[in-house]
Structure 1
Amino acid sequence: MEEKIYQLSYYNQVEGERILLRPMTLKDAEDMYEYASDDETVRFVFEKHTNLEETRKNIANYFMKEPLGKYAIELKETGKMIGTIDLRLKSGTNSAEIGYTLNKNYWKNGYITEAGKLIIALGFEKMGLERIYACYDIENPASGKVMERLGMTYEGTLRKNRIHKKRDVDDVYYSILKQDYFS
């Protein structure tokens, strides 16, 4: 695990065609609050932020405290931060989980697919991971479509896997293996 963390430290910025994945800073608070305070955007991921100070604290405590593998998604053309994507290394394995959130004003433009492809390439090509996976709330099939576009394969559904916003959630899991990525 320490070796993978060390490898990840070399890739705090990843550049795509239209986006830049980079560390979050407190300067991103207003852009993040724009979507973190929107019920529709955060419905499946976290509790809605009620003020800008809450967003700043979230950035400091989650993104800045342990920044490796956590990226702001910035539009290269405008410099606007439109979402986040994480590559979460799993201890005791050679795998990682992807998680993402995107401002609803930028949905259906391929930005999360582009970011996901960059993260998957980083995981397999630079870090030598064997498996990358993701899950989504069964009531959010659009997230599953992203996983399919990333080349991930359906693995299964964990019924009533967790409680989120006072409801039992079925989590749908997808993954991609290194051998599938390179074939």
Structure 2
Amino acid sequence: MQFETERLLIRPIRASDHDALQAMILDPRVVAYLRYRTLETPAEFDDAFKTHFLADSTTTFGLERKRDHQLIGFYEFHVDAQTGELTYALSPAAWGHGYVAEAGQKMMTYGFENLGLTRIEAHYASVNPRSGRVMAKLGMRDEGELQTFTLPTGELIHVMAYALNKNEWLRVKSA
């Protein structure tokens, strides 16, 4: 399954995406606060690419810029029962262009209509408030701090949560 926005093609990850995705996942700036920060070597990435990114075309999508057909990021759902945790990342060159919010609208629709989710959550590190603003643009509501943890560098990270349930989404969509 794939979707289009004005500037993006949202599609399953392909084998040809390997190098672009590896550059993102192995870039500490991109994954500083994501679950993928533990992938540190090309071999570790190769395993995750095969077993996760290529393996699930229903919950993991590449973001391809239409104008030059470059993979600039990804969106994915981590599904538990009827709740999906939305995760996304972009290559640094694509930061600040509104791509995450643009793709996010399609991903919210997909999560509720195609995956049958009743709740979608997204989390971000408080040191990255731009991510929180994207979640608010998607109609999600701020649920406050989810947890706090310390990175190996000693940096204290406050994980903030946003969420939207299907009934709220239907109300916003019909308005």
Whether TM-score is above 0.5 comes out as yes
Name 1:87's counterpart in structure 2. 77
1:26-63 alpha-carbon deviations (Å, 9 max, x no partner): 21122113322322222111227656554433211211
In the TM superposition, residue 172 of structure 1 has moved relative to its aligned partner by 0.7
Pairing partner for 2:105 from 92, 103, 117: 117
Q: Does 1:29 align with 2:8?
A: no
**What letter matches 2:55 in structure 1?**
K
1:118-177 alpha-carbon deviations (Å, 9 max, x no partner): 1101122344432111111222212111101111101121232x5554655322110112
Aligned runs of 1:63-102 on 2, under 5 Å?
63-91=53-81, 94-102=82-90
Name 1:143's counterpart in structure 2. 131
Pairing partner for 1:154 from 95, 120, 142: 142
Name 1:3's counterpart in structure 2. none
In the TM superposition, residue 19 of structure 1 has moved relative to its aligned partner by 0.9
TM-score (norm 1): 0.80
Name 1:8's counterpart in structure 2. none
Q: Does 1:108 align with 2:96?
A: yes
TM-score (norm 2): 0.84
Ranges in structure 2 where 5+ consecutive residues have no aligned partner: none
Ranges in structure 1 where 5+ consecutive residues have no aligned partner: 1-11
Q: Is the 8 A contact 1:37 1:48 kept in 2?
A: no
C-alpha RMSD of matched pairs (Å): 2.2
Identity of aligned residues (%): 28
Name 1:15's counterpart in structure 2. 4
Name 2:157's counterpart in structure 1. 169
CA distance in 2, matches of 1:14, 1:164: 36
More deviation, 131-140/103-112? 131-140
CA distance in 2, matches of 1:147, 1:40: 20
SS in 1 for 2:139: coil
**What letter matches 2:63 in structure 1?**
I
CA distance in 2, matches of 1:138, 1:43: 12
SS in 2 for 1:180: helix
**What letter matches 1:13 in structure 2?**
Q
**What letter matches 1:30 in structure 2?**
D
